[in-house]
Structures are given as C-alpha cells and as structure tokens.
Amino acid sequence: MTDDQPSSAHEQANIKQTPSLNDWKALSPWSILSFVFGSLKNILSNGYALIPIFYAGWSNDVSIVWVIDGFIVLLILLTSFAFIQWRKFRYRISTEQLDVKRGLFFTKKDEIPLNRIQNIRFEQPFYFKPLKLAVLVIETAGSSKDEAKLTALDAKHAQILKQHLLQLNKVSETVTSKDDETSKIAMKATTSDQPIIKRSLKELIIFGFYQNNFIWFAIIAGPVAGQIEWEKVAQSPLIKASIEWVNQATHDSFMLQLIMISSLFIMGYLLFSAISVLASVLKYYPYSLDKHQQTLQRSGGVIAHQQDALAIKRIQVIHFQQPLLARFVNRWTLFLKQVKGNEVEERTKQHMLIPSIKNTEIESIFSMLPSLSPSVITLPTDYTGINIAWLYKRIWLPFIPFSILLGLFFTLDIDIKLVEFAFVAAILVSLLLYIRYKRWGYVLEQDAVWQHSGLLGRDWKRIPFEKIQHVKVTQTARQKTQQLAYLELGLASGAIILPYIPIEVANTLIARSLNTVSTQYKQWI
C-alpha cells in the first residue's frame, strides 16, 4: 500500500460519511497557476505550425520588443481569466454524484452521476510536486471533452476522492460484511493493486522511436524551406565546397551520391525522432499498469506525474497498432478504447495505451483481465480478406487525371513532364490502393469479431459482440448481384467498417450481435 492511497477500507468508507464533502468547496488559489501553465502548454504543444511564422518574423527583422510585449499581454489576459475562473468555481461530492458550478455572467452547473464516470486522470505537474498538490480530470461516458477538472487539490486527498468517484469502496464494504476467513482474503485481494505490466526505459525509448509522426517534420520543414532563398544558398562557398567534396568522394557515381543523400536524410530524421523519444520517456517513465478491483490504473511521468483510472467495463474495443517502424522491432501499441463523445466536435478522448508490447506479452496481459473475454485473447495469425470488387471499383480512379492530361498533350501540346508526373502518381496511388485492399480483412470468433486494416503499418481491432449497439448493412445494385455487403458496426467508441464482405458473413455478425445483447442486460457502455 502506497503512502498516497487510503490505508484501509474503513478510511475509504469514511469518505461518504464526511459532512464537508456535501458542502460547496472552492479550489485552492494555486489553481490559477495551473490554468495559466495549462494554457501556455496548449499553445506551445500546438505550436509546431507556428514555427514557420516565427521564422518568417525573424527573417523580416521583427523587433524582439514586440514579441516580449505580446507575451506579457497574453500572460496578463490568461492570469485575469484564471482569477475569475477560480473565484466562480465550486464543487461538492455526494454519495451519488459530483456537482460542479462555474461561470461569470451565466452560472453553469454540471451534475455528474458517479456511475457515468468512466475515466479519472490523476496529474501532478512539476510546479505542484513541491507543494504536494495534484489535479483530478474526470471524464464521463458520452462526453466529447473533460467533464470536470479539480485542480490544486492536496495530493493525498485527491487520491481518496479518486477512489470515491470511481466507487472502488463498494466491493470492500460488501466483503467486510462477511466474517469468514475466505472473505478476509477476498477483501485483501480487492483492496490491493494487481500489477499487469511495467515498461522499462528501453521499451519506452523504442516506443518513442517507432511512434514518431513524420507529418510534424513535414509541417515544420516545409514552410521553413519555402522561406529560404535557395539560389543564394547554392552559390555560397560552403555549399560549393560540399558539392565538390561529395563528387570527389563518390567519384561522380550517381548511386553513391544517392546513398549519401539518403543517409543524410535518415540521420536528420533520426535527430528529429529524438524529440519523440524524449517526449515518450518524460510522459510515461516509469510506466506501470495495475488492476484495482475492476479498474485499471496507469501511472508514470518524469516531470509531471500522471495516474489514469479506467473502469474495465467501459472498454469498448481492444486496438493493436503497429506502425511501419514498429514492424522492424516487432512491437505493438495497445489501445484500450473507451466511450467517446458524440457531439458535433467529436473530439477523441485519450485512450489508455500500453506501449511497446511484444507478441509473447499479449496473453499474459489479458489473462489478468478475464472480464474482457471468456476466452484467451491473442492476436490472430491470419484473416479473411474483403472481396476484390472493392479494389476494382477504385483502382482506375487515379488514372483519370493522367488520361485527361494525355488528351491535352495531343490536342494542346502541354509539357510532357506533367503527363509523366501524372502517370507516376497514378501508379503509386494504385499500388497503395492494392496494399490497402490486401490489408483489409476480418476474423470471426465466438464472442467477437476482429478487423484487420492498415497501409504501411498494421492494425488489429477486437470488437466484442456485447458492445455492438447497432449494425448498418448497405448494398448497391452491383453488390446485390455479387452477394456482397457493406457492414458498419456501431459502438460507443465509434464505428467499425467491414466493406465488401459476403452477405452471409454480414448476417452472421448481425445474428451473433443481437443474440448476445438479448441474453445480457448489462449496459453497453
């Protein structure tokens, strides 16, 4: 038992009996600091696209005074808004719900039933660690954003509130009503954490490397490259000397020059990947996932300590993701997908993940989570592909621009290079469509269906029949003659698509989903 957890079931039970919890409470004034730092963090974390703007301003000799003045004004505005938010924010907790009210001109009150809470994230930013303060982020089923955020709480008190909000003390109270030795052993098992998996520093470094997203490199490098006057750069003595050295080193061999340029590109990409590796280590190390009663708790973080809590019953889909680089190191990222918001914004929640998993670890992980499946969960070794009609319907589309340009070449005598480029692009797109077709498939099990998809990487999604809320079958006239169907499986975490599958397979999936739900009366989400 750790220092920041309740020491006994009696202490947990006292939470309900504490009168002060039923009174409206204000947050600590330190929450102002949390709001300001959080807002600055959001600005900086979404500031990749601002790098070209800063570069353009620097190249146009924008005065540093303007930058400093702008930052000061931003800080004043954020602090003022944070002060108003702190003055108007109140919360209280009863045995049935969490109430939160806030607002300056119009008061907004949220009443959150405890049985709707699906995830609670315990955070301890670096500026709260010396003060022994923490943040609780409460997420609920069906909401597209964080339902409530209680900042600057005492760290120990925050842990106790988390246990209460997740209703983890119910099992303990039920067990303590028995007097036999077996019940005491059961109580000990339910009140202690059961370790599921830990991730070492090496595994998190591997995760940061293969999970790197190349698009951010393109976002940064592209606009910056557009600001550079390449003609002047090419005429510089350093570039000329470098080109001469390359020609001498490669003896004017095109293949050697290509290898050297590719090596330099890979080195630059690896250097950029160091950012992703550093972020992975700082966010997740030391990573550990534990099971507490019927709740998963993930903890980790070097600078800002985080603890995510997710009720196992809220898990909708088990998603295994393997990007291209992960295939070389034989690792998977496991996402436990929960209910997501269905409002207009449809902002995706932060699904709980387990990084850098080996195939041999999958069975041991899910053996600790028997409520997710009555059978052992392992990755399928093969799958049934979708019908090739899916490819036939799309493979010719990339050649339409090429055909138009080819016709213009013969009639208007346009540049042949443009036609050649369109032809090469059509070949590449067709190749990607073929790979997409080959990767799309499914596997039927007794209690679930697997979807396999991907392009350069691979994805496996396991959808339990008991979580399917609705099914939608679409058939075109052509599909009817071919006995094919387009099937959409609707879940609380989003829709899963199985296109161009045999109609008898679609009917089997529908029958199993309805039969499973008709014999089970527990909530889908």
Residues 235, 357: one domain? Answer: yes
Query: Is residue 34, in this structure, part of any structural domain at all?
Result: yes
Mean pLDDT on 404-413 = 86
Angle at 462 between CA 457 and CA 468, to 5 degrees: 130
Identify the domain boundary among 193, 208, 242: 193
Q: Give the full edge-to-edge strand order of the sheet including 494-502.
A: 470-474, 484-491, 494-502
pLDDT at 319 over 90: yes
Residues 305, 409: one domain? Answer: no
pLDDT tens readout for residues 66-92: 767 777 888 888 888 888 888 888 888
100 or 221, greater pLDDT:
100
Q: Please check whether residue 325 is in contact with residue 135, taking contact to mean a CB–CB distance below 8 angstroms.
A: no
Query: Is residue 76, in this structure, part of any structural domain at all?
Result: yes
Residue closest to 331 by CA, chosen among 319, 339, 341, 323: 323
Q: Please check whether residue 97 is in contact with residue 109, taking contact to mean a CB–CB distance below 8 angstroms.
A: no
Counted domains in the chain: 3
Identify the bridge partners of residue 121 per DSSP, sorted by sequence position.
137, 308
Mean pLDDT on 194-200 = 92
Distances (CA, A) of 270 to 209, 214, 264, 277, 325: 8, 11, 10, 10, 12
pLDDT at 108: 82
Query: Is residue 405, in this structure, part of any structural domain at all?
Result: yes
Residues 206, 122: one domain? Answer: no
Residues 348, 203: one domain? Answer: yes
Q: Please check whether residue 493 is in contact with residue 317, taking contact to mean a CB–CB distance below 8 angstroms.
A: yes
53 or 408, greater pLDDT:
408
pLDDT at 151 over 90: no
pLDDT tens readout for residues 230-283: 667 667 787 777 777 777 776 667 677 778 777 877 787 777 778 788 888 888
108 or 327, greater pLDDT:
327
Residues 152, 241: one domain? Answer: no
Structure tokens at 523: 């909530």
Of the pLDDT bands very low, low, confident and very high (cuts 50, 70, 90), residue 112 is confident
Q: Please check whether residue 451 is in contact with residue 380, taking contact to mean a CB–CB distance below 8 angstroms.
A: no
The pLDDT mean for the chain works out to 78
Residues 100, 221: one domain? Answer: no
Most confident option among 1-15, 219-233, 263-277: 263-277
pLDDT at 480: 93
pLDDT at 307: 83
Residues 240, 332: one domain? Answer: yes
Q: Provide the 8-state DSSP code for 144.
A: S
pLDDT at 340: 60
Query: Is residue 142, in this structure, part of any structural domain at all?
Result: yes
Most confident option among 118-132, 133-147, 236-250, 437-451: 437-451
Backbone angles phi, psi at 342, to 5 degrees: -120, 25
Rounded CA-CA distance 215/16 in Å is 49
pLDDT tens readout for residues 425-447: 999 999 999 999 999 999 999 88
Q: Name the helix (H) or strand (E) containing 13.
A: helix 9-17
Structure tokens at 347: 């902002």
pLDDT tens readout for residues 456-497: 899 999 999 988 888 899 999 999 999 999 999 988 778 899
Query: Is residue 470, in this structure, part of any structural domain at all?
Result: no
Alpha helices in 413-486 (DSSP H): 416-439, 477-482
Residues 317, 334: one domain? Answer: yes
SS (H, E, C) 111-128: EEEHHHEEEEEEEECCCC
42 or 223, greater pLDDT:
42
pLDDT at 145: 52
Q: Please check whether residue 161 is in contact with residue 139, taking contact to mean a CB–CB distance below 8 angstroms.
A: no
Rounded CA-CA distance 62/68 in Å is 11
Residues 184, 198: one domain? Answer: no
For 44-155, strand residue ranges (E) read: 90-93, 97-102, 108-113, 117-124, 133-140, 148-154
Residues 44, 157: one domain? Answer: yes
Q: What range does the domain containing 198 cover?
A: 194-361
Of the pLDDT bands very low, low, confident and very high (cuts 50, 70, 90), residue 384 is very high
Query: Is residue 131, in this structure, part of any structural domain at all?
Result: yes
Rounded CA-CA distance 313/372 in Å is 8
Identify the bridge partners of residue 145 per DSSP, sorted by sequence position.
none
Backbone angles phi, psi at 310, to 5 degrees: -135, 125
Rounded CA-CA distance 45/331 in Å is 27
Query: Is residue 520, in this structure, part of any structural domain at all?
Result: no
Query: Is residue 4, in this structure, part of any structural domain at all?
Result: no
pLDDT tens readout for residues 284-308: 999 999 998 788 889 898 887 888 8
Residues 271, 304: one domain? Answer: yes
pLDDT at 228: 63
pLDDT at 505: 93
Mean pLDDT on 124-147 = 76
Backbone angles phi, psi at 322, to 5 degrees: -135, 95
Torsion of CA 380, 382, 388, 391, to 10 degrees: 60
Identify the domain boundary among 320, 346, 361: 361
Structure tokens at 486: 């387009």
Of the pLDDT bands very low, low, confident and very high (cuts 50, 70, 90), residue 415 is confident
Residues 189, 208: one domain? Answer: no
Identify the domain boundary among 420, 437, 454: 437
pLDDT at 32 over 70: yes
